[in-house]
Amino acid sequence: MPEQVSEPLRLMAVHAHPDDESSKGAATMARYVADGVEVLVVTCTGGERGDILNPAMDRPEIKADIGKVREQEMARAREILGVRQTWLGFVDSGFPEGDPPPPLPEGCFALEPLEVAAEPLVRAVREFRPHVMLTYDEKGGYPHPDHVKTHDVSVEAFEAAGDPDRYPGTGEPWQPLKLYYHMTFTRDRLVALDAAMGKAGIESPYGDWLKRLEERPQPWAVTTRVPCADYFETRDQALLAHATQIDPNGFWFVCPLDLQREAWPTEDYHLARSLVDTELPEDDLFAGIREKVSL
């Protein structure tokens, strides 16, 4: 009888900029790494046009070489999370502000034709062979053009990577089995954190955020809640590694970790595509897949 060949589970998270992987799904990734899952973060752009959001890092020498600095920050964050990481190599589009907003800069990620932008991701999927992919919804989670484009290329890669007739020359076909959207800042989660802080006598930063969510209803239902409270501290350390983007005195860290673990101990997702049978709601991104893959 032939010996059964074991295969590790593999998770790919596709993000627009360095720091996105630490603000969306980081505790989930750290939990799965600890469980023996292979995790790859794909970063579409270098974040070259991102503003410096931490006053302590707002210095001329950092602004002059922001792309290199953000690359170094990403290296620290991936080490903290224990993940592999690769760059697609596209240029940050920036966030257009104004009324009307200015045109996007020539050559940026958001303006690339879909097949040009998706080709290196298809190559990455065929090389890494993920069972599960994570990305943003069609609005990008928030309307940054690079986040919207990341959604587009992720869906394209999920649907095309298994087709031998598409994207020739990018490796042997591989079909991921599930695609999820991040549901990080849901109304239910923010209400729970807001209430926990109020009960503890701590001023909450979520009031205005909740008002904005009332004006913009959540487009997708949460289908999957991954318990990962034990890795919230790891998530925060990865966030802090992105020192140009994350103010250690900012809203990310206002709610104490013990309150977060008690009030909302999961990271949440919407199952957008599945080629395996699974029962909703889920508590595992690999539900329906573990039975097919021998660890």
Length of the chain: 295
Give the per-residue pLDDT at 109.
98
Q: What domain range includes position 226?
A: 10-185+221-274
Is a pLDDT exceeding 50 seen at residue 1? no
Give the per-residue pLDDT at 294.
60
Residue 61 lies in a domain: yes
Is a pLDDT exceeding 60 seen at residue 12? yes
Overall number of domains in the chain: 1
Residue 88 lies in a domain: yes
Residue 103 lies in a domain: yes
Residue 289 lies in a domain: no
Residue 122 lies in a domain: yes
Residue 290 lies in a domain: no
Q: 252-259 long-range CB contacts below 8 Å, 24 or more apart?
A: 252/23, 254/197, 254/202, 254/203, 254/204, 254/205, 255/193, 255/196, 255/197, 255/202, 255/204, 256/200, 256/202, 257/232, 257/233, 259/193, 259/196, 259/197, 259/200, 259/202
Give the per-residue pLDDT at 5.
53
pLDDT digits (tens, 9 = 90+) for 203-218: 998 888 888 887 777 8
Binding site residue list? 17, 20, 147
Give the strands of the sheet with 224-227, arranged side by side: 84-90, 38-45, 10-15, 132-135, 178-182, 266-274, 224-227
User: What integer best gives the mean pLDDT of the chain?
Assistant: 94
Domain CATH for 151 = 3.40.50.10320
Residue 2 lies in a domain: no
Mean pLDDT on 220-230: 97
Residue 169 lies in a domain: yes
**Total Cβ atoms within 10 A of residue 261:** 14
Is a pLDDT exceeding 60 seen at residue 4? no
Binding site residue list for Zn(2+)? 17, 20, 147
pLDDT digits (tens, 9 = 90+) for 60-98: 898 889 999 999 999 999 999 999 999 999 999 999 988
